[in-house]
Structure 1
Amino acid sequence: MNLHPPRPDDDNDDEMVGTLLGRRQALRLLGLGGAAALAAGGVLAQRGAGGTSAGTSGVTGLPGCVVRPAMTEGPFYVDEGLRRSDIRRDTTTGQVSAGVPLTLEFVTSRVAVGGCTPRQNVLVDVWQCDALGVYSGVAGNTGDFLRGAQVTDARGRATFTTVYPGWYPGRAVHIHFKLRPLNAAGRVTGEFTSQLFFPEEVTDRVHARVPYNRKGRRTTLNAQDGIYRNGGNQLLLSLTGSPEQGYRATFDVGLNIG
């Protein structure tokens, strides 16, 4: 595991990107008065929000896909071109990142009047820090651990095996992701970028364990994170599992760009 911390001047992925749709606006877009917007192939988000929606909202009267905010890419994205489901291994050294296992499944859909249908051929990129807050391939760090991409299958699904993220100063615990629809020739036709967040009580349990506890207690909680306050509660993962056995989360994404 690379133990070099990110440089403080790179620790600034706090640009505000995107806006939220209220329930009434989402209802209009999802068929109750919004058929014309959908038929036009428009973006399911307010100006600047990037054109996505993400699910498990629990809002009465809406399907599984509800509009969510885009968020900054940050300074740690590297387009490695690594197509793989298990992103724990560093291909340059063979070393596997230590930490509590996390299985993260993306389910992509196209939002239409009345609901969502699976969307295949979406390139899903994920990147994150390791248990000690380190990103590979940036800020003087080598390797490609905890980075990878997959294309969604006919069910709109792409599943990653990773580890629960650590923390670094100024940010709550999070994972970055990028969605890029592909056409029949394999060319990218759109892009949406955002971040996923974690419940504080789960993070407390995970970060009390080795190797996370070598870093000490995190200094920024969700409520103190400027990015999380820009809609992160709508990007909060619902986890099943335990620190001993690992965790699993499914994240539904309605994507109407590209």
Structure 2
Amino acid sequence: MSGRHHDHAHSLADDLKVMETMMARRRALKWFAGAGTAAMVAGCGGSDAASGSVAVVSGATASATPTPTPTATPTPTASSTTMTCIADPAETAGPYPGDGTNTASGATSNVLNVSGVVRSDIRPSFISTTTVATGVLVKITLTLVDVNATCAPLAGYAVYLWQCDRQGLYSLYTAPAESYLRGVQVTDANGQVTFTTIFPGCYEGRWPHMHFEVFSSLSNALSGRYAVLTSQMAMPSAICSTVYADATTYPSSASKFARITLSSDGIFGDNTAAQVAQQTPTFSGSVEAGYTATALIGIAR
């Protein structure tokens, strides 16, 4: 009993010595713990630790530090970091596809079997005239991806793109003598095609848009059959307002655009917010210099 009482009867000097000893011991333990952790990390690192890379699944390139999956559509390139993709909804080809599937004014138009339809610059007519469609320049790159294979790019697919001109007219139909603003391209190794075109005008009752059909091969596209997807792209609202401010180049587009909304549009109005977001290309540039646009096209194979 007296022994335990004696242990607690320290002077201040004794307590200070004990405290110094304890602090020194804690520093030593902390150092050994840190050294042990470093040794364990070094022992478990393997080749990935040596290269400083971490494998990222879902069709992404290697990244040194994990990044959150973006909620917005990323800039579509084959070397993009992790990205999400959804299947684009199927939409009507409309009354003016020019792909041999419909008859208008007693005639069936099919540019897909006409020599010269495979081209990147779709502004000139190429059948009976050489008229060039005028308007604000747009270079649009579409990236086709397989939504069932972690957004892997789809190479060797054919895309047929068509649209109205700056006055809201379609070649072969409401502009019957012309064949402009229609063309086919084949996706490269990155799943990409690029078209040079113009910003489409706005016509009554429809949100400004571009049409496209996707085929699994060029031969299928040129036959006008076996499209794996027929859909449309919605032009961004802010760009529409900017472009249509020039009433000389785009006569009446501004007033018609003021009477339509995405929710009231008969094509885009019933789509989800995610679908509309993917159907809306990303634009950069200006009216004066022209625009560059990109869009991701999700295919469910």
TM-score, scaled relative to structure 2:
0.60
Counterpart check, 1:126 vs 2:169: no
Question: Which has a greater percent of helix?
Answer: 2
What is residue 236 of structure 2 aligned with on the other side? 199
SS at 1:228's partner residue? coil
Among all aligned residue pairs of Structure 1 and Structure 2, give the percentage whose two residues are the same amino acid.
34
- Whole-Å separation in 2 of the counterparts to 1:167 and 1:216: 8
Cα deviation digits, residues 51-97 of structure 1 (max 9, x gap): xxxx8179xxx833123321111111012121110000012322211
Structure of greater Rg: 2
Select the structure with the greater relative contact order (CA < 8 A; seq sep ≥ 6): 1
Task: Quickly say closer, same or farther: Cα 1:211–1:241, change in 2 above 3 A.
Answer: same
- Whole-Å separation in 2 of the counterparts to 1:193 and 1:185: 14
- Whole-Å separation in 2 of the counterparts to 1:229 and 1:131: 23
Matched residue type, 1:220: I
Counterpart check, 1:255 vs 2:299: yes
What is residue 287 of structure 2 aligned with on the other side? 243
- Whole-Å separation in 2 of the counterparts to 1:133 and 1:102: 16
- Whole-Å separation in 2 of the counterparts to 1:185 and 1:193: 14
For structure 1, the residue ranges without an aligned partner over 5 or more in a row are: 1-30, 32-54
Specify which of 142, 145, 156 is matched with residue 109 of structure 1. Answer: 145
User: What pairs up with 1:1-258 in 2 under 5 angstroms?
Assistant: 56=73, 63-79=83-99, 80-81=111-112, 82-91=117-126, 92-113=128-149, 115-139=150-174, 141-182=176-217, 190-209=227-246, 210-213=248-251, 215=253, 217-218=255-256, 219-231=259-271, 233-234=276-277, 235-257=279-301
**Counterpart contact for 1:124–1:151, Cα < 8 Å:** yes
TM-score, scaled relative to structure 1:
0.70
**Counterpart contact for 1:136–1:145, Cα < 8 Å:** yes
**Counterpart contact for 1:181–1:191, Cα < 8 Å:** yes
Matched residue type, 2:139: T
Matched residue type, 1:247: Y
**Counterpart contact for 1:64–1:252, Cα < 8 Å:** no
**Counterpart contact for 2:131–2:178, Cα < 8 Å:** no
SS at 1:224's partner residue? coil
**Counterpart contact for 1:200–1:221, Cα < 8 Å:** no
Task: Quickly say closer, same or farther: Cα 1:183–1:124, change in 2 above 3 A.
Answer: closer
RMSD: 2.7
For structure 2, the residue ranges without an aligned partner over 5 or more in a row are: 1-57, 59-71, 76-81, 100-110
Matched residue type, 1:77: P
